[in-house]
Amino acid sequence: MGGGVGLTWHSPVRIATDNSMYAMPETAIGFFTDVGGSYFLPRVKNGDFSLGLYLGLTGQRIIGRDLVKYGIATHFIKQENLDHLHEVLLKNVTKDSTTEEIEDIVQDHSDATAAVGEIKYHDEIRQIFQNDSIQACMDRLEQSNSEFASMTKKMLAPMSPLSLAVVFEQIKRGSKMSIKEVFEMEFKIAAGFCQHTEFFEGVRALLVDKDKQPKWRFKTVH
């Protein structure tokens, strides 16, 4: 999930700081959003499928306070206050402490204003990234002349079309799966990608030769 986001997705307390960053950039290397992405992406911000799909397809980086707006983190704490919170937790939390008591301590040290305000381009994300098909999503994006659409097209242009199609399907299926079912599905997807040329080509272009010119076998999602 990127540095600084505390605990696990199921935790009632997930802390972000100024230095926290979240991104799932796997489509850039011809892979898919693994490590449970099928489960937590469709569940960001109280189950906002469009937001999770947008993050999974584009690899968009979410930083600091915005992690709370997206529902990835539950609390935002300034980096300079993190050590103090740690000390308070050590002093006050025991094996008998309830989840609610721990949440109250974190809440007292967090910045509630982090959740205030709208996610930028949220309406357009919802309009474009729907759960019908990856082809329909790309068609809606292509037909839009907005600033958001222009930026998103540039972000998606170098991505593996095969990965985009797989990520769409895994997030759609994962929205109705248990965490156990998700990991079983992702294991099978990973095994398939490790036998496929797109993943190796993506790693070559971005991490080995670093020419950033992947030669994808599949040129389009259509």
Comparison of pLDDT for 140 and 196, the residue scoring more? 140
Contacts of 137 (CB under 8 A, 6+ apart): 53, 57, 128, 129, 130, 168
Contacts of 168 (CB under 8 A, 6+ apart): 53, 57, 133, 134, 137
Cα dihedral sign, 167-182-5-32: negative
Tell me which of 3-7, 44-48, 58-62 is least confident. Answer: 3-7
Segment 135-163, tens digit of pLDDT? 999 999 999 999 999 999 999 999 999 99
- Per the prediction, the chain carries an average pLDDT of 89
Give CA–CA dist 92/69, Å, rounded: 28
Categorize the per-residue pLDDT at 9 as very low, low, confident or very high, splitting at 50, 70 and 90: low
Domains of the chain: 15-208 (3.90.226.10)
Average pLDDT over residues 115-144: 93
Strand partners, 21: 63
Q: What is the CA radius of gyration of the chain?
A: 19
Residue (of 151, 162, 165) closest to 202 by Cα position = 162
